[in-house]
Structure 1
Amino acid sequence: MATASIDLTAKLWTVKYNSNSSEEEGNNKAEIVEVAHWKGHAARLAKVAIHPTGRYVGTTSFDTTWRLWDVERGSSSVGGETNETELLLQDGHDKAVFGIDFHPDGSLCATSDFGGVVRLWDLRTSKSIHVMTGTHAGRVLCTQFAKPWGFQLATAGDDGTIQIWDLRKHGKQLASLPAHSRLVTQLEYCPNGETLLSSSFDGTAKVWSTRADYKLLNTFRGHEGKVLGVASLMNDEASTHKSNPYGGGIATCGYDKTLKLWQ
């Protein structure tokens, strides 16, 4: 798990199981342990994403840049100094950079900013290869490559809409969904690629079909106020289960300080 913070750092965490716990305490007691951390941005961090290989971490920041970090070069949490040397520092945006996601094959990165600009980056050449402007009315807060093939890109932000773009046709718009009544906080494709999840300040999380009609499949309400994030709980076994297109369910977190699981 990776996190980004207003303290200018990004951190990588793992779950450590203590098999030596007593029977009274319960076996395999879990502990969250910091593995590595990085510092280099000049302003607060916005989001963090883990590369499909697990070898790299990408961060976005209000300093108008995004950066790529090497997991193996991240400093240890045990007496280590923060590593301030990134693999890539990209400054093609003019406004605070917020959204970030890696293509499933690891070759591309998509970033978005407060000026409504979405950029695609080729990680093999470290260059911006495509720019989309005017995609939304306001800030673009989310970018998400479709799974498992990455042929499409979903974006969302202040205007409450979800836009779907075909990367095989130079970013041609495939769909525009009037998804939420307030800004969208998170997008996530389920691993099998059949559904797209969204969460919003309007207090809901929604599940969308990724077929041509992008039909709304379900709406989850239960948080008191803003929903800040949504994630798929689908595993490999559930991804092939046709009766439930979002498999093992979804998790949401809210401004009400609760985490909720939905089936």
Structure 2
Amino acid sequence: MASTKITEVYSVRASPYKDTSCHFSSDGKLLATGGYGKKVVLWYADTLKPKSTLEQHSCLITDVRFGPSMPRLATSSFDKTVRVWDADNPGYPLRTFIGHNGSVMSVDFHPNYDDLICSCEGDGEIRYWSINNGSCARGGEAQVRFQPRLGRFLAAVAENVVHILDVETQACRHSLQGHNKPIYSVCWDPSGEFLASLSEDLVRVWTFGSGSEGECVYELSCIGNKFHSCVFHPTYTSLLVIGCYQSLELWNMIENKMMTLSAHEGLIAFLAASTVTGLVASASHDKWVRLWQ
């Protein structure tokens, strides 16, 4: 595990409020953070110096996601809206989507169709939105993440099960079971071949490689600090970074070895990774954002 040790590169006190989400732009140059402050801050990822602030939401921001190519990002909020922004001209949102009946908990861009985003609310309803014409289609479930690269599948969390939906037909292809407690986080590896699902006491990694769709290939039980967030390391393909209370757990899945890294003074609410720069970002309830490499 010595070769996969990561160290802190930069840190900044992000705001007076707790951050609940962060995400890197596709070129790795920007990092977006958002949370209880009702605003999104865009940071230059190489220095963690602020670039701009996006202010239109009236409640807690639950998720921030950059688009796959254009300098766009989407935000979801307890104010029941989804907003799409131009990162280069962030004064006002390009689109404000209204239609959810409850707090919007998650949002994501399709990796190949810049026009398509997906959002879901707390009661499990999914909506697919067209940025260009504002149209909406509806489905079910909770937290959502599109499969990278191919965009063939959408991972949607419902309590302790991950449903794998066919993006074209919206049919459920797989129901990934094995968690006894609610799932806090799901993340795909950059290739789209593996999906990790995380509850406070268990991480399961599923494969979507040829001929083995939906099979659990790695599993890690919590023996101490409860799990809360996760992301695949952008450089070390066998390493899953897990956010806990104050610490990061580095799990080498193939060797089934763990390394604990003191990281924050509060819960690590969200993790993000950039395959371009090799950086991992951690956003914590201690109101700090830290970069690791």
For normalisation by structure 2, the TM-score amounts to 0.70
**Residue 14 and residue 222 in structure 1: after superposition, are their counterparts in 2 closer, same or farther (change >3 A)?**
farther
Structure 2 counterpart of 1:98: 105
Q: Contact 1:184 / 1:198 at 8 angstroms: preserved in 2?
A: yes
Kindly report which structure 2 residues correspond to 1:28-107, keeping only aligned pairs within 5 A, or say none: 31-53=47-69, 55-74=71-90, 83=91, 85-105=92-112, 106-107=114-115
Query: How far, CA to CA, are the matches of 2:151 and 2:225 in structure 1?
Result: 32
Look up the equivalent residue of 1:253 and give its one-letter code: G
Query: How far, CA to CA, are the matches of 1:213 and 1:44 in structure 2?
Result: 36
Runs of 4+ in 1 over 3 A off after TM superposition: 221-226
Query: How far, CA to CA, are the matches of 1:48 and 1:192 in structure 2?
Result: 21
Structure 2 counterpart of 1:144: 145
Identical aligned pairs, as a percentage?
Answer: 22
Structure 1 counterpart of 2:208: 210
Kindly report which structure 2 residues correspond to 1:155-166, keeping only aligned pairs within 5 A, or say none: 155-157=156-158, 159-166=159-166
**Residue 250 and residue 174 in structure 1: after superposition, are their counterparts in 2 closer, same or farther (change >3 A)?**
same
Query: How far, CA to CA, are the matches of 1:226 and 1:195 in structure 2?
Result: 22
Instruction: Give the gaps of 5 or more residues in structure 2.
Output: 1-30, 253-293
Query: How far, CA to CA, are the matches of 1:122 and 1:179 in structure 2?
Result: 34
Kindly report which structure 2 residues correspond to 1:1-263, keeping only aligned pairs within 5 A, or say none: 1-16=31-46, 31-53=47-69, 55-74=71-90, 83=91, 85-105=92-112, 106-128=114-136, 130-133=137-140, 135=141, 140=142, 142-157=143-158, 159-168=159-168, 170-201=169-200, 203-211=201-209, 212-222=212-222, 224-235=224-235, 247-254=237-244, 256-263=245-252
Q: Deviations over 1:136-155 (max 9, x none)?
A: xxxx2x20111211111110
Query: How far, CA to CA, are the matches of 1:213 and 1:58 in structure 2?
Result: 29
Query: How far, CA to CA, are the matches of 1:181 and 1:190 in structure 2?
Result: 23
Per the alignment, in what secondary structure is the counterpart of residue 155 of structure 2?
A: strand
Per the alignment, in what secondary structure is the counterpart of residue 111 of structure 2?
A: coil
Structure 1 counterpart of 2:272: none
Size of the aligned set, in residue pairs, is 219
Structure 1 counterpart of 2:25: none
Bigger strand fraction: 2
Query: How far, CA to CA, are the matches of 1:47 and 1:103 in structure 2?
Result: 15
Q: Contact 1:145 / 1:153 at 8 angstroms: preserved in 2?
A: yes
- Deviation of 1:233 (Å): 1.3
Q: Deviations over 1:212-237 (max 9, x none)?
A: 541111123457343221111134xx
- Deviation of 1:117 (Å): 0.1
Look up the equivalent residue of 1:124 and give its one-letter code: N
Per the alignment, in what secondary structure is the counterpart of residue 88 of structure 2?
A: helix
Q: Contact 1:162 / 1:179 at 8 angstroms: preserved in 2?
A: no
Q: Contact 1:204 / 1:223 at 8 angstroms: preserved in 2?
A: no
Instruction: Give the gaps of 5 or more residues in structure 1.
Output: 17-30, 75-82, 239-246
Query: How far, CA to CA, are the matches of 1:61 and 1:220 in structure 2?
Result: 31
Query: How far, CA to CA, are the matches of 1:152 and 1:146 in structure 2?
Result: 5
**Residue 104 and residue 223 in structure 1: after superposition, are their counterparts in 2 closer, same or farther (change >3 A)?**
farther
* Structure with greater Cα Rg: 1
